[in-house]
Amino acid sequence: MFKLVAGLILFFAAHVPAIARGLRDRLRASWGMMGYRGVVSFLALAGLVLIVWGFHDYREAGYIQLWHPPVWTRHLAFLINLPVFILLIAGFLPGYIKARLGHPILAAIKFWALAHLLANGDLGGILLFGSFLVWAVLARIAAKRHGERAVVANPSWVADAAAVVGGVALWALMLTRLHALLIGVPLLS
C-alpha cells in the first residue's frame, strides 16, 4: 500500500503546478521551460510507475474490502466507461467535441474514475480512483477559472465521427479483451 500512496502523492505533486498557475510560472521562470517539463515529466512518470507497482502489490496481498458494491454497479460502470474512450480520442482530434468541452481528456478521467469508484469498494481502488477524480475536478475548475480551453480553429464532424467510431471500438476491445490482458481483471466472464 505504501508504494501506491507514494506513487499517488508523487504523480499528483507533479501535477500541482497545472492547477496552481502562480507556482507553475515561478518554476518555469526559475528552471526554464525545458527544465520544468523535464522535472514534471520525471516526477509524473516515477509516480505512475509506483502507482502501477503499488496497486499490483496491493492486489496480490489481497483486497481490503470496505464495502461490497451491488452487481448492477459493474454494469453501470461498463456504460459509464463508453464515453471515456470517445472523449480520450476526441481530446487529440480537432472536432466539435473538443471545441465544445474544452478539456475532453479531463472529462474522460472523471467518467473513468467515477465508474471505477462505483464498481469497486476496496481501499486501494477508492484511493486510486478517488484521487484521480478529485484531481480531474480540481484541474477543470482551475482551467475554467483561468479561461483555458482547447482552441479548435476549424472543428470537423469527421474528427468527431472518428472519435466515436474509434472510442466505441476501443471500449468494446477493453471490455472483451484488453482489461483482462492489461489489468489482469476480466470484465466479462
Summarize the chain as % helix, strand, coil (round to 5). Answer: 80, 0, 20
Look at residue 61 in the predicted model and tell me its pLDDT.
95
pTM: 0.91
Look at residue 19 in the predicted model and tell me its pLDDT.
86
Look at residue 107 in the predicted model and tell me its pLDDT.
98
Decide if 48 contacts 12 (C-beta within 8 A). Answer: no
Domain regions of the chain by residue span: 1-62, 64-189
Handedness of CA 56, 57, 62, 64 (dihedral sign): negative
Question: What does the pLDDT look like over 17-31, one tens digit per residue?
Answer: 888 888 989 999 999
Distances (CA, A) of 165 to 15, 102, 168: 31, 20, 5
Handedness of CA 183, 75, 121, 86 (dihedral sign): positive
Question: What does the pLDDT look like over 42-93, one tens digit per residue?
Answer: 999 999 999 999 999 999 999 999 999 999 999 999 999 999 999 999 999 9
Question: Measuring CA to CA, which residue among 124, 130, 126 is closest to residue 58?
Answer: 124
Name the one residue in this structure whose C-alpha cell is 464532424: 157
Question: What does the pLDDT look like over 98-122, one tens digit per residue?
Answer: 999 999 999 999 999 999 999 999 9
Look at residue 95 in the predicted model and tell me its pLDDT.
96
Banded pLDDT at 15 (limits 50, 70, 90): very high
